[in-house]
Structure 1
Amino acid sequence: MEWQQLEYFRAVGRSEHFTRAAERLAISQPALSRSITHLEETLGVPLFDRVGRSVKLNAYGRLFLARVEKALQEIQDGVNELQQLKDPYTGTVSLSFVMTFGLSLLPDFIGSFNRRYPQVKLQLFQNTTAGIVRQLLDSEADLSILGLIDLRSQLEWTKLLDEELYIYVPAKHRLAARESIRLEEVADDPFIGFKKGYSMRSQTEQFCRQAGFSPRVVFEGEDVATVSVLVSSGIGVTLIPAFTGITPSKIKKLRVTEPVCRREIGLAWLKGRTLSPSADLLRAFIMNYFRKS
């Protein structure tokens, strides 16, 4: 059994499609098929159910893929650690974060980190909460910034800050002259919200329930910039964290006095996984940065 065979198997197992896996691996489909067949012969069990041109992981395949994922990640982590031991301040770290976090605090601490450790390369990913959890579990991201999560048995999560959420209304809205409101005062307004699967969507619905109503969502966006533009055009209101670059002549930020609208933001990583020196460096930097702020 060779390392390359395991990489080929992982690619087919993830996509459950020989053609797409072969294109991703830059090899011919017949060569990929032969490699998988040899692996199955070595193991003495089939790993896929073949139906026509399609393949699907069977029980053997699902079990083996979980082990292969961990084994290959351990090997890659080991290679990275050996390379970084030459200089602990070099290497590559992947950081994923929720969409609504990127426009506020992320640029500040990333800029500070880059100035202090210019040789460490950062790979940044914006994603939904569900997508971030998947990236962590699949070891596609070393660290992630997201709200409080339920998968504490598989992930480590430590709180970084409490973040206030505000109601944003069009500049000509009936409440635009106010500094603060109760959330129930916009119960009859159309809402510009985020798509299901985004933490801001579930949090908006949660706070609205506390205020005694269900938000009437007329548009579902994927980022703060799009949501704010639609609010400024007069389509509706939204509940989001504070962000820079708003135009007071088009959109107004209002503090919510009841209920208190805040969310917890934290740093997460895969439990039991040994982080590379560079990733450990970034983790310590982030935690220290928010401890001081």
Structure 2
Amino acid sequence: MFDDLDIFAAVVEHSSLNRASRQLNLSQPALSRKISKLEERLGVALFNRYGKRLELTEVGRLTYSYALEQRQQRSKFLEALSKYKEGEPKLVTLGASLTSLQTTLPPLVNAYMEKYPTAELKLITGRTHEIVSSVSEGKSDIGLIASSIQEPGLRCISLFEDQLRLVVSEHHPLNQSTKLTMDDLSRLPMILFSKGTWYRRLTDDLFQRCGIDPDVRMEIDSFEAIVRLLPTVNVAALLPKSYLRPQLLNGGGLVSLHIKELEQTQRTTCLIYRDDGSLSTAARSLVQVTEEMFLTEREK
């Protein structure tokens, strides 16, 4: 009956059996028989016939609306089906820490969506141990974490090395120094990450080992907020190198300064997923894009 509904809709849209028969590549008598057969099956008249002119009955208008709905639903179904046949990825659940969300994730998502524009990403955020558990328990297909782990049942792929850098306004006095040490941070007005965050623990540990007591003016857990505030309040901050892209520094009037001791903050960002072969097509595609993006860059 659904094919007959398509034929019926074509007759309505062409307002003529003759024009519809040419478009459908059917003879006019064959087309008339199909319309009559459809009316018999439905038990109603779909057209009022005035010679060669056809006029929809009230139930004919209702049937035409239903035929259009069926056409749209079938089109959506066939489109979705073709994607599965072609192996195009659909939904993938990605777990990421807040750090990865602000540094690694934006360029990765852009690269993935550019290659698979109809794919769907669901994001789960949490701390590193929460993301590891989420992937282990199957709540997330893939995880991005700011550390390297050895966890039974999980594969861990190192993507890139990262470390903290001192960031100040281009007009800050420290930007005029030829060589900086950790001693330059003592009593220096700074914005630090909020207490309890991974980066705050990292910086507190570094300050303690180096005997540094900074002048903490603000505590914030948003990279973007810190970057926006640096030129305004003329303070310094320690931010991950991976976040400090050229367009961010140049556009914000900021500079990234090297301090030898900050190399002690180096950590590895990794991709994790279950190694039991259960990855979906979508998840495998995201793993492939991630490896191509970061591992290729690392080999340059």
The TM-score bracket by the shorter chain reads 0.5 to 0.7
- CA deviation string 1:178-210 (max 9, x = no partner): 465223311222432223443222222233344
The alignment status of 1:286 with 2:285, answered yes or no, reads no
Q: Which structure's residues are more often helix, by fraction? A: 2
- The one-letter code sitting in structure 1 at the alignment partner of 2:201 is S
Change (3 A) 1:288 1:182: same
Deviates more, 1:115-124 or 1:277-286: 115-124
Contact in 2 for aligned 1:145/1:268 (Cα 8 Å) = yes
The alignment status of 1:201 with 2:205, answered yes or no, reads no
Structural mapping, 1:195-274, within 5 Å: 195-213=194-212, 215=214, 217-234=216-233, 236-241=235-240, 242-243=244-245, 244-246=247-249, 250-260=253-263, 261-270=265-274, 272=276, 274=278
What residue is the counterpart of 1:176 in the other structure? 175
Contact in 1 for aligned 2:148/2:158 (Cα 8 Å) = no
Change (3 A) 1:212 1:273: farther
Gaps of 5+ in 1: 1-82
Q: Which structure's residues are more often strand, by fraction? A: 1
Offset, 1:162: 0.9
Counterpart-to-counterpart distance in 1, 2:234 and 2:108: 34
Runs of 4 or more consecutive aligned structure 1 residues displaced over 6 Å after TM superposition = none
Change (3 A) 1:151 1:269: same
Counterpart-to-counterpart distance in 2, 1:152 and 1:216: 39
Superposition CA RMSD, Å:
3.3
Contact in 2 for aligned 1:148/1:157 (Cα 8 Å) = no
Gaps of 5+ in 2: 1-81
Change (3 A) 1:258 1:125: same
What residue is the counterpart of 2:142 in the other structure? 143
Offset, 1:224: 0.5
| SS in structure 2 at match of 1:188 | coil
| SS in structure 2 at match of 1:245 | helix
Contact in 1 for aligned 2:96/2:145 (Cα 8 Å) = yes
| SS in structure 2 at match of 1:195 | coil
Counterpart-to-counterpart distance in 1, 2:92 and 2:100: 18
TM-score (norm 1): 0.60
Offset, 1:266: 0.8
TM-score (norm 2): 0.59
What residue is the counterpart of 1:11 in the other structure? none
- CA deviation string 1:71-119 (max 9, x = no partner): xxxxxxxxxxxx9864432321122333344455533333222222223
What residue is the counterpart of 1:275 in the other structure? 279
Deviates more, 1:128-137 or 1:238-247: 128-137
Counterpart-to-counterpart distance in 1, 2:100 and 2:193: 14
Structural mapping, 1:52-63, within 5 Å: none
Offset, 1:131: 4.5
Contact in 1 for aligned 2:149/2:156 (Cα 8 Å) = no
Q: Percent identity?
A: 20
Change (3 A) 1:142 1:188: same
Counterpart-to-counterpart distance in 1, 2:153 and 2:191: 33
